[in-house]
């Protein structure tokens, strides 16, 4: 089923299409859920490999002045 990835500190005003485009190169995104809290999203990748690659490559990257925090989501 793949893994969910949590992304925090997205640039102010970031929208779903832009977040999808930012992470699409890592593999198929099954779902992108933007949270009501500005700057946060959950991404569902189709494979664990894609989620791990996105987490490793994108954590700490600066996008439009915002330093992203990207980690595998800890779902209960």
CATH number at residue 49: 3.30.70.330
What sign results for the dihedral spanned by CA atoms 35, 47, 76, 69?
A: negative
Q: Tens of pLDDT along 14-51?
A: 999 999 999 999 999 999 999 988 899 999 999 999 99
| Alpha carbon distances (Å) from 31 to 28, 46, 60, 62 | 9, 9, 22, 23
| 26 secondary structure, DSSP code | G
Question: Structurally, how many domains does the chain consist of?
Answer: 1
pTM for the full predicted model = 0.91
For tokens 């990207």, the residue is 70
Range(s) of the domain holding residue 65: 4-72
| 24 secondary structure, DSSP code | G
């Amino acid at each position: 089923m793949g893994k969910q990835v949590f992304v925090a500190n997205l640039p102010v005003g970031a929208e779903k299409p832009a977040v999808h485009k930012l992470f699409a190169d890592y593999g198929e995104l099954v779902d992108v859920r933007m949270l009501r809290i500005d700057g946060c999203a959950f991404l569902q990748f189709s494979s664990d490999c894609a989620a791990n690659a996105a987490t490793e490559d994108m954590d700490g990257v600066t996008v439009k002045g915002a330093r992203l925090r990207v980690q595998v989501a800890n779902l209960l």
